[in-house]
């Protein structure tokens, strides 16, 4: 059973963004399946892959927001930046084997699902009301 299962309620109705969000969830599940109690070399490579993909995805999202003159763009960008910084912190700590995998998975799950359902959803509401 996957650690996080995609739900239709996570869908924002923008094909590109939804596909990228689904890919992030797949990567989160890959990390969960890597499976050791602490983040080790193997799981660390999954984290790096996820950070790289998240960066690409955030750029794509921010580009659409700019095109639509989204008024909350700056705040949204800082949420993305904070996420990347936090995950990079985890990844660095993982080099010393000090990160319980469960703690990282819970952070990623809560952040991703929370961000999609609140901040990203607000943007979709903005586009729909424009």
Tokens of 33: 């399946």
Contacts of 94 (CB under 8 A, 6+ apart): 38, 39, 40, 43, 44, 47, 104
| Smallest distance, Fe ion to C-beta of residue 79, A | 7
Indicate which single residue of 20, 120, 124, 128 sits in contact with Fe ion (rule: CB under 5 A). Answer: 120
Burial class of 129 by CB neighbour count within 10 A (0 to 12, 13 to 18, 19+): exposed
Cβ proximity to Fe ion, 28 vs 120, nearer residue: 120
Site for Fe ion in 52-81 (CB under 5 A): 61
The answer to whether residue 104 forms part of the interface with Fe ion (CB under 5 A) is no
| Smallest distance, Fe ion to C-beta of residue 76, A | 6
**Count of beta carbons in the 10 Å neighbourhood of residue 14:** 16
User: Which range in 2-10, 26-34, 88-96, 118-126 contacts Fe ion by CB under 5 A?
Assistant: 118-126
**For residues 47 and 94, is the Cβ–Cβ distance under 8 A?**
yes
Q: Count residues contacting Fe ion (CB under 5 A)?
A: 2
| Smallest distance, Fe ion to C-beta of residue 83, A | 9
Binding interface with Fe ion (CB under 5 A): 61, 120
């Amino acid at each position: 059973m996957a650690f996080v299962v995609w739900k239709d309620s996570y869908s924002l109705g923008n094909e590109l963004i939804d596909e990228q969000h689904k890919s992030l969830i797949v990567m989160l599940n890959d990390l969960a399946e890597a499976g050791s109690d602490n983040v080790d070399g193997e799981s660390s490579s999954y984290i790096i892959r996820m950070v790289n993909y998240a960066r690409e995805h955030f750029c794509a999202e921010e580009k659409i927001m700019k095109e639509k003159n989204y008024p909350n763009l700056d705040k949204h960008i800082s949420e993305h930046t904070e996420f990347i910084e936090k995950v990079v912190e985890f990844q660095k700590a993982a080099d010393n084997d000090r990160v319980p995998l469960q703690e990282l998975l819970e952070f990623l799950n809560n952040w991703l699902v929370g961000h999609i359902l609140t901040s990203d959803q607000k943007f979709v509401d903005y586009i729909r009301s424009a």
